[in-house]
Structure 1
Amino acid sequence: MSKKSNFKLSGFEDMSKKLNDLSKKANNANGEHSVPFEELFSSSFMNKYTNGDEIYSFFIAGGFDASNNESFEAIDENQLDVYISDNSSFQSWQDMKNSAAEQYTLKILGF
């Protein structure tokens, strides 16, 4: 005579809820978003990867004017790349932006 075994599985509802929450966060993060520099380049990011603790003071220390969008757009990116290479863990402004965006996205998703 064969005896039936019953297994109780738990945790799937909790995991399903977490996956649904993650999916909602991912959908909200999808597309283009405008994120203030001080949020994208948080003080923890700046302290970890650069010689500064705040993005605007980091630019000022390098002789760059980032006080408004027009001034920032006028910055010679080659000079900025040299400054970033010398004063951060990154080789270029593009590398620094990519890393900040990646870390910001992971934070938004809850990782």
Structure 2
Amino acid sequence: MGRPKPMSMEDLLKDLQGQKNMQEDPNNISLDKLFNESFMRKYSSSNSFAAFLEKGNFQATTQAEIKNLHEELLDRHVARETKFNSWKSMLDTANSEYNN
């Protein structure tokens, strides 16, 4: 038997914080994974999704919290700060790129 693969520091921190699920639910991908740094640099003026939300004075860390945001305000922020016309088109593109 081989030795187990060492955990990355990020995974270890998530594990210690109790935020890592045993199995990732494809319908509930973390926003940081979905809107990773590469995606945000490609399509927006922000380096991270957290910075993008902060710039619009939005507070959300989960997809459920995003759904509770005022959609029209979020759409306007997306149109102003990204290459997308709406939150839905941004989310659809992120899901598509994540799954490919």
TM-score, structure 2 normalization: 0.68
- Identity score, percent: 26
| Farther-moved stretch of structure 1 (87-96 vs 55-64) | 55-64
Return 5+ residue gaps in structure 2 as ranges. Answer: 1-24
TM-score, structure 1 normalization: 0.61
1:61 correspondence with 2:64: no
Return 5+ residue gaps in structure 1 as ranges. Answer: 1-30, 107-111
**Which structure has more helix as a fraction of its residues?**
1
Partner of 2:12: none
Query: Cα distance, 1:95 vs. partner?
Result: 0.3
- Residues 33 and 71 from structure 1, CA distance in 2 versus in 1: closer, same or farther, beyond 3 angstroms? closer
Query: Cα distance, 1:63 vs. partner?
Result: 0.9
Which of the residues 66, 77, 80 maps onto 2:74?
80
* Cα-Cα RMSD: 2.0
How many residues align? The count is 76
Higher relative contact order (CA 8 A, sep 6+): 1
